[in-house]
Amino acid sequence: MIFVMRQILNRLNAQIKKYTMKLKLLIACTTLLTIAVQKTQAQINPDGFFNKKGEANISLSYTYATYEKFFLGLDQVDAVPAHNQIDQNIYNIYANYGITDKITAIINLPYIKATGDGAADPVNGTTEQSDLQDISLLVKWAPFTTQHENGTTTGVIAIGGSYALNYEPNGILSIGNGASSIDAKLGLQYNNNSGFFGNAFVGYSIRGEADNNLGLGTGAKYDVPNSLNAQIKIGYAGKSFYADAWFDAQKSNGILDINSANFAGNFPETKVGYSRVGLNLYAPITKTLGVSLASGTVVSGRNIGKGTYYSGGITIGLGK
């Protein structure tokens, strides 16, 4: 009798652990992906959490970003050229959908309003730019999940791209580089049964051409440099909250700096690089509704503003 009771308790504990882990992963899947946009494409940074088949999440967020320092090439200056300071108001729609238990599709679309606190942009002659930026799509796949005594390791392959919409890409104040892209990323994520997790991703972005809307130089389209990117994230996905801290970096293969002798106002062709750190927080209110907060800052960079962003949003879960 005692032996039978022990077997029942062991099975019950195993089921509870399995259910708790699934619940933690489900909560983590509804975290809001916040994207800071400063003269870079709105890339989607994937993770190792996957929706169940037929489950979807829609996130709406607002982000305020500001920077009054700027990297001219690698040289940091204490005021943004011409504008002194640039403020960005970003309204973002982000959604994901479980095609299968191991394949999740993600789409992202930001609307950005950028305002300069100073003279007009020396290239495009404006003190404000606002428009839809780049619509991005990414599909991530988990080719394997390895079971460990205290958790699992999931491999992730992600393929996607972005399509640049009709905004002015040339100038310090511009909201993007105006080039569409094809993106590929590889990563690993370890999920501990306690709820703690960590991941690492590397990726490469192949950029297309940007329109020379202002007819500078020869008037030919701009060749936007390709870029290598990487991300490291650690966090906790629990029943009542989710939190993570992240670091990401980009290095492009361009040869042109804003302060170089051969720069002629062709901003989309500049070599844009950065390293950033940030935090994401998420808490569920109901089974299908949650709220998120996020912040991030540029630590170092090249031909980019050195700024900080703050974000808040709501996430709605469907099909749960």
Q: Mind giving me the DSSP string for 32-55?
A: ------SSS-------S--PPTT-
CATH number at residue 257: 2.40.160.40
- Cβ-count burial of 43 within 10 angstroms (0-12 exposed, 13-18 middle, 19+ buried)? buried
Cβ(102)–Cβ(140) below 8 Å: no
Query: For residues 164 and 132, what is the distance between their CA atoms, to the nearest angstrom?
Result: 9
| pLDDT of 226 over the 60 cut | yes
| pLDDT of 26 over the 70 cut | no
The contacts found for 121-125 with CB under 8 angstroms, 24 or more apart, are 121/82, 121/83, 121/171, 121/172, 121/173, 122/81, 122/82, 122/171, 122/172, 122/265, 123/170, 123/171, 123/172, 123/214, 123/216, 123/265, 123/267, 124/168, 124/170, 124/171, 124/173, 124/174, 124/214
Amino acid 213: pLDDT: 84
**Which residue's structure tokens are 């009709």?**
166
Q: Which pLDDT band holds residue 21 (cuts at 50, 70, 90)?
A: very low
In tens, the pLDDT along 241-275 reads 999 999 999 999 988 999 898 888 889 999 999 99
pTM of the model: 0.87
Cβ(219)–Cβ(209) below 8 Å: no
CB-based contacts of 319, cutoff 8 Å, min separation 6: 54, 55, 56, 98
What's the number of domains the chain is made of? 1
Cβ(275)–Cβ(296) below 8 Å: no
| pLDDT of 197 over the 60 cut | yes
In tens, the pLDDT along 91-130 reads 999 999 999 999 999 999 999 999 999 888 888 889 999 9
Amino acid 302: pLDDT: 96
Domain that holds residue 121: 2-318
In tens, the pLDDT along 120-178 reads 888 888 999 999 999 999 999 999 999 999 999 999 999 999 999 989 999 889 999 99
